[in-house]
Amino acid sequence: MPSYLQIENISKSYGPKILFEHIGFNINEGDKIALIAPNGTGKTSLLRILAGKDSSDSGGKVMFLKDIRIAFLEQEYTYDPELSVMEQILSDSAVWMEHLDPEHRADYELRIRQLMTSFDLGSGDRKMKDLSGGEIKRVAIIVMLASDADFFIMDEPTNHLDIDAIEYLENYLSHKRCTLLMVTHDRYFLDSVANIVMELDRGSVYIYKGNYQNYLEKRQERIDNYNAETDRVRNLFRRELEWMHASPCARTGKAKARKNAFYELKDRAGQVYRTDSVNLEEMAPATRLGTKIVNCKDLCFSYGGVPYLSHFTYNFQRYEKVGIVGRNGVGKTTFINLILGMMDPSDPGEMSGVIERGESLKIGYYRQSGMHFDERQTVLETVNDTHLLGRFLFPHDMLNNRISKLSGGEKRRLYLLTILMQQPNLLVMDEPTNDLDIVTINILEEYLKEFKGTLILVSHDRHFLDRLVDHLFVFCGDGVVKDFIGSYSQYREYLKEYESARRSAAREAGRSAKTPPVNSSVQSVSKSDAPRKLSYKETRELEQLEKDIESLTAEKSELESKLNGGLTDVEQLQEVSLRFSEVTALLDEKETRWLELSV
C-alpha cells in the first residue's frame, strides 16, 4: 500500500505546556485510524496541523501523497445562519466543484441529494439557523462525505448526532474504501470503523493494529515492560550507588565515564509509568433520597402545534437508571426541562397534566450547553478545592490556568466536577460523553454504576447506555414515548426481529400481513401494563395499518432503488427525495400506531 501521509519531527506547545515534541509516523492507503489520548494532550492540535489549519512549532514535515484529496471535519462547524441547508452545502463544496464539467457537477449534486435523504434533511430548504445541533453536524458530515475525498480527517464525528445518524455514518465508513484519521470517544463506532489505534501518550506516538480491546491489552503490555525495565535499572543503580559511596574520587577516564553513566542511570531509575485517570472514589455520596422522585400524570406538551409529549404518565423510582433515546429534535431535552421545572418562562409551548417532585430532591443537571464559566477565572477560582481538582486531573501547575486556556475536554471535565460535588440524589445527564476522552468516560461509567440515587441519562453513546441503564424511554415522535425494558443493544435487536417478522408477513400473498411477535418488554408508558381487548373500530384500523405498511414499505424500496440507480435529472431527483422523506415519515407514524394497538 502506498504511503498517503508521512509526518516527521512535528511539535506543538502552548506556553510552558508541551503537547507533543518531535513526533513522526506514516499513514498508508486504507488505514482507518482512531487517535486516542487524554483531554488536553493535543489530539485536536495534531489534526489541525495535518489538515493545514495550524503549524508545527519545530518546523518538521507533513507530506501527503501527490494529488490526493483531503477532507477535514472539525468539531465546530462554521456556517451562515441565513443560508438554506442546500445553499450552505453547495457553498462549502465549491472548492471541490469549481473545476468540474457540467456532467460531473450534476453527479456531485446527486451525491449531495442522496446523502441529504440518508441523513433525513429533506429537500434542504430550511435555514441553517433553524436546525438543531445534531442537524448542523449532519450538514458538516454531508459536506465531507460528498467530496468523496481520498483521506478523511475527522475530529469527534459522532458528537451531537443521534444514534440513527451515527449508525448510518458507521456503516458508510466501515464499508467505504477510504483512508481516515479520526478522534472519537465512541467505542462501538471505533471498533466498527477503525483497524488501527494510534495513541498519543506523554508526547510520543504508539501504533496498535486491531480494535480497542486489543489496544488496551497491548498498551498494558508496553507499560508493564517499561516498568519492568525500570526495576532492572533501579537494581543496577543501587550497585552503582554503592560504588560511588565506596570509591575515592578517581580522576581516570574510566572512572569519569562510570560517574557519567551513574547520573544517567539515576534519571532513568526515577521514571515509573503511572496512568493518570480521574478518581471518583472519594466523591461525597449522594444526599439521602425520599420515596417520591418525580411523578408525571397525563403530561402533554406541544410547540407551534407540534406535539413533543402526549399523555405521558410515569412515576420515577428510587435508584432506577433510565436512558432516553430518539432522533435529533424529537424533544428529549425539552422533556428533561419539563420534568425538572426548568423550562424557560418565556417559552410559548403549551403544557397540560401534572408533575409532582419529591421534597428531598437535590438535582444535578449536566446539560449539553450548560458550561457557563467566566473564561477570565482560573481553575482554582472556579472550584476552590485543590484535593478534588487533583482527583479530576487538574494538578498544581494547572490551578492558576485561566479557563480560556483549557481544551474543550478539560472544560467538560471541570463542569462534571462542579455537578458531582453538589452531592445530587437525582442526577440528570444530557449527552455527558461529548468531548470527554475514553478513559474519563470509563471512570464515569464505574461511578454511575454505583451511584446511590436516581439517574436519567440522555445519550447517543451506545456503549455508555448498555453499561448503565435498566430500561429506555424511546421518543418515537409526535409525542409518543415507549418504555423498553433492557439495554440499547437489546432494543436494537428487538427492532431487527420486529422488522424481519413484519416483512415476512408482508410477503405472504393473498392475505393481510400477520401480526409479528411483539416483545412484551416494549410498552407505552401512558398505558397500563394489563393487555386490553381492541374495539371493533381499532381492529379495523389495525387491519388497514397492516395493508398501508405493506404498501409504503414497497414504495420506499422502489424509491431507494431510484435514488441509488443513478438519476441524473435534478428536478426528478428532488421529487423522488421529497417523496422518500414523506414515505419514511408516514411509515414511521403508521408503524408506531401499529405498535400501540398491538402491544
Pick from 186, 134, 131: which is nearest to 160 by CA? 134
Is 120 within a domain? yes
Q: Which amino acid is at 50?
A: L
Element (H, E) at 190: helix 187-193
CA distance 463 to 457: 13
Tell me, yes or no, whether 234 and 199 share the same domain: no
Tell me, yes or no, whether 392 and 408 share the same domain: yes
Sheet holding 480-485, edge to edge: 363-366, 426-430, 454-458, 321-326, 471-477, 480-485, 522-524
**170-200 confidence digits (pLDDT tens):** 999 999 999 999 999 999 999 999 999 999 9
Tell me, yes or no, whether 450 and 536 share the same domain: no
CA distance 87 to 520: 46
In sequence order, what DSSP letters do the residues of 485-514 get, joined into one string? Answer: ES-HHHHHHHHHHHHHHHHHHHTSTTSPPP
In sequence order, what DSSP letters do the residues of 312-369 get, joined into one string? Answer: EEEE--TT-EEEEEE-TTSSHHHHHHHHHT---TT---EEEEEEEE-TT--EEEE-TT
Residue with more model confidence, 249 or 305? 305
**What pLDDT, on a 0 to 100 scale, did the predictor assign at position 128?**
96
Tell me, yes or no, whether 469 and 333 share the same domain: yes
What are 438's three cell numbers?
475514553
Pick from 145, 173, 119: which is nearest to 584 by CA? 119
Is 279 within a domain? no
Tell me, yes or no, whether 301 and 400 share the same domain: yes
| pLDDT band per the 50, 70, 90 thresholds, residue 266 | low
pLDDT above 60: residue 252 = no
Query: What are the residues whose beta carbons fall under 8 Å from the beta carbon of 411, sequence distance 6 or more?
Result: 371, 373, 403, 435
For range 298-306, the mean pLDDT = 90
pLDDT above 70: residue 270 = no
Tell me the three state secondary structure of residue 126: coil
pLDDT above 90: residue 73 = yes
User: Which of the listed residues 206, 234, 269 is the one where a domain comes to its end?
Assistant: 269
Query: What are the residues whose beta carbons fall under 8 Å from the beta carbon of 215, sequence distance 6 or more?
Result: 36, 197, 199, 208
Percent of the chain's residues with pLDDT above 70: 84
Mean pLDDT score of the chain, rounded to an integer?
Answer: 85
Tell me, yes or no, whether 500 and 470 share the same domain: no
Q: What is the CATH number of the domain that holds 149?
A: 3.40.50.300
Residues constituting the chain: 599
CA distance 218 to 252: 45
Is 221 within a domain? no
Tell me, yes or no, whether 243 and 337 share the same domain: no
Tell me the three state secondary structure of residue 217: helix
| pLDDT band per the 50, 70, 90 thresholds, residue 510 | very low
**What pLDDT, on a 0 to 100 scale, did the predictor assign at position 263?**
61
Is 288 within a domain? no
Is 282 within a domain? no
Q: Which residues are 350's β-sheet partners?
A: 302
In sequence order, what DSSP letters do the residues of 79-120 get, joined into one string? Answer: --TTSBHHHHHHHHTHHHHTT--HHHHHHHHHHHHHHHHHTT
b/e map 62-92, b = 16+ CB within 10 Å: eebbeeeebbbbbbebebeeebbbbebbbeb
Measured in whole angstroms, the distance separating CA 117 from the mean position of its chain's CA atoms is: 22
For range 206-229, the mean pLDDT = 88
**What pLDDT, on a 0 to 100 scale, did the predictor assign at position 262?**
63
What are 233's three cell numbers?
535499572
**What pLDDT, on a 0 to 100 scale, did the predictor assign at position 96?**
92
**What pLDDT, on a 0 to 100 scale, did the predictor assign at position 519?**
45
φ, ψ dihedrals at 327, nearest 5° = -65, 160
| pLDDT band per the 50, 70, 90 thresholds, residue 25 | very high
Nearest 5°: the CA angle 313, 588, 300 is: 25
Q: Which amino acid is at 30?
A: G
**422-446 confidence digits (pLDDT tens):** 899 999 999 999 888 888 898 889 8
| pLDDT band per the 50, 70, 90 thresholds, residue 509 | very low
Q: With contact defined as beta carbons under 8 Å apart, do 427 and 454 qualify? A: yes
Query: What are the residues whose beta carbons fall under 8 Å from the beta carbon of 589, sequence distance 6 or more?
Result: 477, 478
Residue with more model confidence, 366 or 580? 366
pLDDT above 60: residue 44 = yes
Tell me, yes or no, whether 26 and 142 share the same domain: yes
Tell me, yes or no, whether 416 and 508 share the same domain: no
Is 526 within a domain? no
Tell me, yes or no, whether 336 and 189 share the same domain: no
**343-357 confidence digits (pLDDT tens):** 876 677 889 999 999
Domain boundaries, position 58? 3-215
**520-579 confidence digits (pLDDT tens):** 445 555 444 444 566 767 777 777 888 888 888 888 878 877 776 666 666 777 777 778
**74-131 confidence digits (pLDDT tens):** 999 999 999 999 999 999 999 999 889 988 999 999 999 999 999 989 889 999 999 9
User: Which of the listed residues 183, 215, 247 is the one where a domain comes to its end?
Assistant: 215
Tell me, yes or no, whether 465 and 573 share the same domain: no
Is 562 within a domain? yes
Tally of domains within the chain: 4
φ, ψ dihedrals at 270, nearest 5° = -90, 0
Is 285 within a domain? no
Tell me, yes or no, whether 411 and 430 share the same domain: yes
